[in-house]
Amino acid sequence: MQKLAPLKLGILGSGKGSNFKAIAEAIEEGRLNAEVRIVLSDVEDAGILDYARARGLRAEFLAPGRFRTKLEPEAEARLVALLQEAQVELVVLAGYMRMIKAPMLEAFPRRIVNIHPSLLPKFPGLASWKQALEGGATVTGCTVHYVDGGMDTGPILAQSEVPVLPGDTAESLHARIQVAEHALYPAVLARLAAAR
């Protein structure tokens, strides 16, 4: 039986890149049949870019423009062009803190995935682990979902539960959610890679 070619990934991130690191390690260890074609960030000094460059991967800063929560139209068009030029098949958001708009959604229909630190549809948006604590949740977790035009509203691919423990702080809960994310995200990507 012929082995499937690796799934070509484009990674978008705004921070230190811990989910990207988990994905890269899964590829290296043979748990995920994929290759990272490009890593892009809207933050010039983001750790995710340093991590990608240290691994010899193409990594670029994409100036976002003047908006805080989305890219300017020209920047989003450039993002699409870079991903297409890298022949990306699946766009993976790994701590990317901007909304994805029409140019990206049209260029990569049902081919953009995100991981969110709550059990969606509960606690969408920013700092959802704080929302879970403030809301008195006893269980939270993380969700991998397809990206659509809404805020964390796309179809859910998988979830992993994390209990909220007595005495949890926002920091301790977030740290445990991240452990769950680092297991769930590569596993879901492996499933998508195998299902082609």
Mean pLDDT of 59-86: 90
Share of the chain above pLDDT 90, in %: 84
The per-residue pLDDT for 179 is: 97
The per-residue pLDDT for 130 is: 95
Instruction: Convert the pLDDT of each residue in 124-145 to its tens digit.
Output: 998 999 999 999 999 999 999 9
Q: How many domains does the chain have?
A: 1
Domain presence at residue 188? yes
- Domain containing residue 182: 7-194
Domain presence at residue 57? yes
pLDDT bin (cut points 50, 70, 90) of residue 65 is confident
The per-residue pLDDT for 2 is: 57
Domain presence at residue 60? yes
Owner of token pair 């994905």: 23
Among 70-84, 103-117, 168-182, name the one with the lowest average pLDDT: 70-84
Domain presence at residue 61? yes
pTM of the model: 0.95
The per-residue pLDDT for 1 is: 52
- Here the tokens at position 102 are 């029409």
Mean pLDDT of 152-178: 96
* Mean pLDDT score across all residues of the chain: 94
pLDDT bin (cut points 50, 70, 90) of residue 27 is very high
Residues in the chain: 196
Domain presence at residue 1? no
Domain presence at residue 38? yes
CB 97 within 8 A of CB 115: no
Domain presence at residue 120? yes
What one-character-per-residue DSSP string does 31-98 give? SS-EEEEEEEESSTT-HHHHHHHHTT--EEE----S-SSB--HHHHHHHHHHHHHTT-SEEEESS--S
Domain presence at residue 46? yes
Q: What is the CATH number of the domain that holds 95?
A: 3.40.50.170
Give CA angle at 118 (176, 7), nearest 5°.
90
Q: What's the rounded Cα separation, in Å, for the pair 54 and 39?
A: 12
Residues designated catalytic: 116
The per-residue pLDDT for 3 is: 78
